[in-house]
Homo-oligomer: A and B are copies of this chain.
């Protein structure tokens, strides 16, 4: 499959903020830990901000910090914040109209794929940022 690591990056970003506790952390500091550049960090950070997981502040002495305590942030919320496309995708090929299988397979799979992704999210719901920090 593709090589999208945005979700891992987002979790790393939150982990750095958790590490610095209540300080304002700049995108440069996070980029150094992640080994990438501040622009990329800010791009993901703005998604986390939109989702209400972090608070940001521009200007000197600004940066970002967690909006809640680490045991109130689950990996499912992070997933919701940054993963936009379903992981199991149905085809967007035009169906062969005279074939019943071709016409029906898309609809048949959609619900199954959605349920499967939901099960994955339910599992992610069980892990909090706090637990990740304890493993580090």
| Interface, chain A (partner B; CB < 8 A) | 1-5, 7-9, 11-12, 15-16, 19, 32-36, 75, 83-85, 87-96, 99-105, 107-109, 111-112, 115-120, 122-124, 127, 132, 135-136
Contacts of A103 in B (CB 8 A): 136
Which residue in chain B gives the minimum CB-CB distance to A18? B101
CA distance A127 to B88 in the complex (A): 15
Chain A interface main SS type? helix
Contacts of A124 in B (CB 8 A): 112, 116
Which residue in chain B gives the minimum CB-CB distance to A106? B8
Contacts of A33 in B (CB 8 A): 96, 99, 101-102
Which residue in chain B gives the minimum CB-CB distance to A95? B35
CA distance A24 to B118 in the complex (A): 36
Contacts of A3 in B (CB 8 A): 2, 89
| Contact yes or no, B5 A135, CB < 8 A | no
Q: Which of A99, A104, A120: most chain B Cβ within 10 A?
A: A120
Tell me the minimal C-beta distance from A27 to chain B in angstroms. Answer: 15
